Structure 1
Amino acid sequence: MAEDQFLAVFGMYVLKPKIFDYLEDHINHNIRQKGEFQLTSCLDKLRQEEGITGYLVKGKYFDTGMPQFYRQTIIDFPN
């Protein structure tokens, strides 16, 4: 994958119950990234220890999580 490309995770998860053990460990040990408890780091640990299956979708990603990104999505989204 090129340096200027990335993968995003969106949609629905079907996870093994072990994910809650990893989340609990992060909470109990106050392990935060950017000031928040992160599901992403717990997902990576689950991936390393038990494996994860995903589905790669080809297409364009539109971000609507923050006002400036939502605005750009409205501009970029095909009519």
Structure 2
Amino acid sequence: MLTVLLGVSLTYTLAWYRAYRLTERFLQEATASFRAGRHLEALLGYETFDERRRRYVYHGGYIQIEAIWADPVV
């Protein structure tokens, strides 16, 4: 029983930590967009193409931050 409780606690802590780190990144990106006068991008987020990785990279906005913490799973 203790092993199960420890496993659940560890899983919850890891999920919370990942949500917290993602929130930090999105907040920095959204704040930078807002200060640059790109208010819609700050609110909604945006994508850019990374030539080195050859894929699109998502930059979060304030709405995504709210959605991260509103999700009942986290």
Q: TM-score over 0.5 for the alignment?
A: no
Q: Which has the higher contact order (CA 8 A, sep 6+)?
A: 2
Scaled by the length of structure 1, the TM-score of the pair is 0.27
- The TM-score normalised by the length of structure 2 is 0.28
